[in-house]
Amino acid sequence: MLNWIQQKRVAGILAFFLLTGNIAVKAQNDNRFEVSKQLEIFNALVKEVEMFYVDSIDVDKTVRKGIDAMLGSLDPYTEYYPEQDMETMKLMTTGEYAGVGAYITKRDEGVIVSEVFENMPAALAGLMAGDRFLTIDTVNVEKAASDRVSELLKGPPNTKLKIKFQRPGEKKPRTVEVIRKQVMVDQVIYYGVRNNDVGYIYLRGFTDKSAGEVKFAFEDLRKNHQIKSLVLDLRNNGGGLLESAVQIVNMFVPKGKEVLSTKGKIRQWDRVYRTASEPIDTVIPLAVLINGGSASAAEIVSGALQDMDRAVLVGQRSFGKGLVQSPRDLPYNGQVKVTISKYYIPSGRCIQQIDYSHRNPDGSVAHIPDSLTSVFYTSKGRPVRDGGGVTPDFVVAEPKTPTLLYYMASDYNILFDFVTDYVQKHKTIAPIDEFVVSDEDFEAFKSYAKEKNFSYDRQSGKLLNSLKDAARFEGYLEDEDSVTFQTLAAKLTPDIDRDFERFKPEIKALLASEITKRYYYEKGEMIQDLKADPVLKKALEILSVPALIEETLTQKDTNEIPQINSKRNIVANRANLSMR
């Protein structure tokens, strides 16, 4: 029997749960009523506008804008895919589509081929970058949008189409017959051996085939090239399937290890993801390369391997996307990819960098400041932080892009058209390992840029003009033709001859990258770019000093991470000195 005090306590507890339960049910009912109310209003609004608006409206386009605006107010990753866009969703998850295997782009003169895929129908039929589409089968596409051309190029595998196109530098159009096929976009663009015994794998994204491709590459490197360490490059990898990330982590850590957990509004959907298979190799020294373009699944792999003290991370801080999306079916064969949870890697941290749930009055969102982040610890006690992406163990500053190269990349026509002309004049080039851009080619490019009136704005010149206006307004500029301003203006005025010479190595590297892609496809471009890659160079230096890796992965410190990082930089510098 309960005494009267115990009975009173029990009654109070029951009353509390009944009250909070009623509040929760009431809140849920109120929310459901609000959803029904707003849907009814929206439905009536669309009908009224469609019936009575002064001009005819495209209902599909108008409603789509409303849907995109609504979802865009949540976060950039919650997206609607109607039936006609489901092919895009399939490409994201499988890396496959049926078509000719080429990238296309719209130019003033029409839609052109911007890149062809190796051993795919477009390349096999002889199409090249720069070719301009005239007709596809019987459809004239000289003035068509790129979406229309893309739609005509895609189709069921093994179906034929005729493409009439104009090649730059030729007077007569060409016509080829192309047989569509299932195009598989490789996720491991390139793998190979560096410094005789270091394996290198570059992973583009995380589809349902990524883990298999990484496994194949790693086993080939290990068995046939006897590698002693491995570099996994996840730079500019925007992520993809969560399960694929778990499978790749599983290759390097024991079975049963927690890789991440997810938490969202619906508790029944919360999950813990563990490695489910026996690993391939748990001891090989491993370096993972990341940068600001490494996001989502790329951050799961890099962050989990860091939290487990299984790999050293090299590069720049990652993007900071700690959100999970799931596709939900909609009427008329559409889907919505909706953010359902946040994920937490083994140390317990969430690396989401932006809080989309709390917006500024103007609707913008801000980064989580470092002062609001928390310290977590790896399996061996190393401190790591949440709330701002994954910070590498060895930070290698990303070279700043000069304004000249920025505009050269933005005004892609200059570089693209020069290389298109270059390909017409050079049927072959040296093997990829030997190819270099000659000084003669560099000068030819400079002359071409001048001929095409290539211009590039410089922010320093704009700021100088603003400073001059401010100085005049405040009365500090008495002489309108101040010698100081004239001297600065002369230095800051764009000058192709001077600036091409100043940034000659960078321009030659950009040229080499674009040229090799035309002859050796995407893989060749990757090999060319790695020749002078400072992040890869740093990773190779680190892997050559086993003691440095061991010290990095076992170093404990209870102080703040900036001090830890500074210590690691000292260790890294010591390693560099020993390598020279």
Q: Express each pLDDT in 321-336 by its tens digit.
A: 999 999 999 999 999 9
Determine which of 100-114, 270-284, 402-416, 482-496 has the lowest per-residue pLDDT on average. 482-496
**H helix intervals, 383-495:** 403-410, 412-425, 439-451, 459-473, 483-492
- State yes or no: pLDDT of 64 exceeds 50: yes
Alpha-carbon distance 390 to 392, whole Å? 6
Q: Domain boundary residue among 357, 378, 395? A: 395
Write down the residue that tokens 């937490």 correspond to: 344
- State yes or no: pLDDT of 419 exceeds 60: yes
Do 423 and 521 lie in one domain? The reply is yes
pLDDT in the model for residue 479: 60
35 is a domain residue: no
- The structure's pTM equals 0.85
Do 326 and 199 lie in one domain? The reply is yes
The residues facing 330 across adjacent strands are 334
Alpha-carbon distance 276 to 279, whole Å? 9
- Give the mean pLDDT of the chain: 87
pLDDT in the model for residue 402: 82
242 is a domain residue: yes
Residue range 242-268: mean pLDDT, rounded: 97
Alpha-carbon distance 539 to 231, whole Å? 7
pLDDT in the model for residue 386: 93
- State yes or no: pLDDT of 296 exceeds 80: yes
| Rg, C-alpha atoms of the chain | 29
pLDDT per position as a tens digit, 453-470: 887 766 666 666 677 777
Query: Please, are residues 125 and 113 in contact by the beta-carbon 8 Å criterion?
Result: no
pLDDT per position as a tens digit, 313-323: 999 999 999 99
The CATH number of the domain where 137 resides is what?
2.30.42.10
Tokens read off for 513: 């990258």
Query: Please, are residues 292 and 319 in contact by the beta-carbon 8 Å criterion?
Result: yes
Residue range 119-123: mean pLDDT, rounded: 96
The residues facing 124 across adjacent strands are none
Count CB atoms within 10 A of the CB of residue 274.
15
Do 309 and 350 lie in one domain? The reply is yes
- Nearest by Cα to 326 from 314, 313, 318, 336: 336
Query: Please, are residues 190 and 523 in contact by the beta-carbon 8 Å criterion?
Result: yes
Domain membership of residue 159 as a residue range: 97-184
158 is a domain residue: yes
Residue type for position 514: E
Query: Please, are residues 542 and 568 in contact by the beta-carbon 8 Å criterion?
Result: no
Do 223 and 237 lie in one domain? The reply is yes
Do 495 and 357 lie in one domain? The reply is no
Q: Domain boundary residue among 146, 164, 184? A: 184
246 is a domain residue: yes
Alpha-carbon distance 422 to 297, whole Å? 39
For 400, counting Cβ atoms within 10 Å of its Cβ (0-12 exposed, 13-18 middle, 19+ buried), the class is: exposed
Alpha-carbon distance 351 to 387, whole Å? 5
Do 267 and 371 lie in one domain? The reply is yes
296: left (phi over 0), alpha (psi -120 to 50) or beta: left
Q: Where are the beta strands (DSSP E) in 249-349?
A: 258-264, 271-274, 286-290, 312-315, 323-330, 334-344
Alpha-carbon distance 34 to 160, whole Å? 53
Residue range 404-433: mean pLDDT, rounded: 89
Count CB atoms within 10 A of the CB of residue 94.
15
Alpha-carbon distance 121 to 199, whole Å? 31
Model confidence at 412, in pLDDT bands (50, 70, 90)?
low
The CATH number of the domain where 309 resides is what?
3.90.226.10
pLDDT in the model for residue 573: 36
Do 390 and 476 lie in one domain? The reply is no
474 is a domain residue: yes
Percent of the chain residues topping a pLDDT of 70: 84
Greater model confidence, 360 or 434:
434
Model confidence at 6, in pLDDT bands (50, 70, 90)?
low
Q: Domain boundary residue among 184, 200, 227? A: 184
Do 194 and 278 lie in one domain? The reply is yes
Do 168 and 204 lie in one domain? The reply is no
- State yes or no: pLDDT of 569 exceeds 50: no
pLDDT in the model for residue 575: 34
425-447 in b/e burial notation, b at 16+ Cβ within 10 A? Answer: eeeebeebeebebeeebbebbbe
- State yes or no: pLDDT of 346 exceeds 70: yes
Do 272 and 162 lie in one domain? The reply is no
- State yes or no: pLDDT of 568 exceeds 50: no
pLDDT in the model for residue 55: 93
26 is a domain residue: no
Q: Which residues contact 433 (CB under 8 A, 6 or more apart)?
A: 527
Query: Please, are residues 274 and 258 in contact by the beta-carbon 8 Å criterion?
Result: yes
Question: DSSP for 364-395?
Answer: ---BPPGGG--EEE-TTS-EEESSS----SEE
86 is a domain residue: no
Determine which of 219-228, 414-423, 555-564 has the lowest per-residue pLDDT on average. 555-564
pLDDT in the model for residue 11: 54
pLDDT per position as a tens digit, 359-404: 777 777 888 887 888 999 999 999 999 988 999 999 999 888 887 8
Q: How many domains does the chain have?
A: 3
Do 254 and 160 lie in one domain? The reply is no
Report the SS3 class of residue 558.
Answer: coil
417 is a domain residue: yes
Determine which of 91-95, 125-129, 338-342, 411-415 has the lowest per-residue pLDDT on average. 411-415
Residue range 398-425: mean pLDDT, rounded: 85
Do 230 and 287 lie in one domain? The reply is yes
Highest mean pLDDT out of 26-30, 77-81, 365-369: 77-81
Residue range 563-574: mean pLDDT, rounded: 34
Greater model confidence, 23 or 148:
148
Tokens read off for 440: 């003669």
